């Protein structure tokens, strides 16, 4: 087992919940915190997660789909590297106002399923270009859709921690 110098926050997707097998994969590399969030009922999700980052001294973020979008913005705000699986970026007014006030460029590893029909890969690439990101890698996986299988998850989590440990 590796030295656990990281504390990671895992953020699940919109119509999803925490997958314990994925948590176990992350825990191999990092202490791990997570919440099961009903995004439809909880209106202060961003602030709850931001406060959790401060309280738990989180220094890595992993998010999928809507959770990937949240991880991206939280990473920018707290200057924390993030692993983003098919992040579901939205063009909302609050996000547009946030990006103008935040110049942090923490490392992002972005995983895109080329067969994703929920989050179009090109929309993510367009968003990253629009944001003028400076510190990221994109891995497109040809046979991957929106759901992330455990094999892909494990490999990319391992790659992410190796990259940020350099």
Strand, coil or helix: 87: coil
**Residue 7 burial by CB count (10 A; 0-12/13-18/19+): exposed, middle or buried?**
middle
The pLDDT tens digits of the residues spanning 108-128 come to 999 999 999 999 999 999 888
What architecture does CATH give domain 7-164?
Answer: 3-Layer(aba) Sandwich (3.40)
pTM above 0.85, yes or no: yes
| C-alpha to C-alpha distance for 54 and 24, rounded to whole angstroms | 23
CB 6 within 8 A of CB 161: yes
> What are the extents of the domains in the chain?
7-164
What per-residue confidence (pLDDT) applies to 124?
A: 93
The pLDDT tens digits of the residues spanning 31-67 come to 999 999 999 998 889 999 999 999 999 999 999 999 9
Question: Which residues, including other chains, have CB under 8 Å from residue 35's CB and lie 6 or more apart?
Answer: 18, 48, 49, 52
């Amino acid at each position: 087992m590796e030295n656990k110098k990281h504390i990671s926050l895992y953020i699940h997707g919109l119509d999803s919940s925490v997958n314990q097998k994925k948590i176990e994969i992350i825990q191999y590399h990092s202490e791990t915190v997570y919440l099961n969030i009903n995004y439809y009922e909880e209106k202060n999700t961003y602030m709850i997660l931001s406060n959790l980052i401060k309280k738990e001294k989180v220094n890595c973020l992993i998010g999928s789909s809507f959770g990937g979008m949240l991880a991206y913005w939280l990473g920018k705000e707290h200057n924390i590297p993030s692993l983003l699986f098919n992040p579901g970026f939205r063009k909302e007014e609050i996000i547009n106002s946030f990006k103008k006030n935040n110049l942090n460029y923490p490392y992002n590893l972005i995983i895109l399923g080329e067969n994703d029909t929920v989050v179009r890969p090109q929309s993510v690439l367009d968003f990253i270009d629009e944001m003028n990101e400076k510190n990221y890698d994109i891995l497109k996986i040809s046979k991957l859709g929106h759901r992330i299988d455990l094999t892909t998850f494990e490999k990319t989590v391992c790659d992410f921690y190796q990259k940020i440990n350099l």
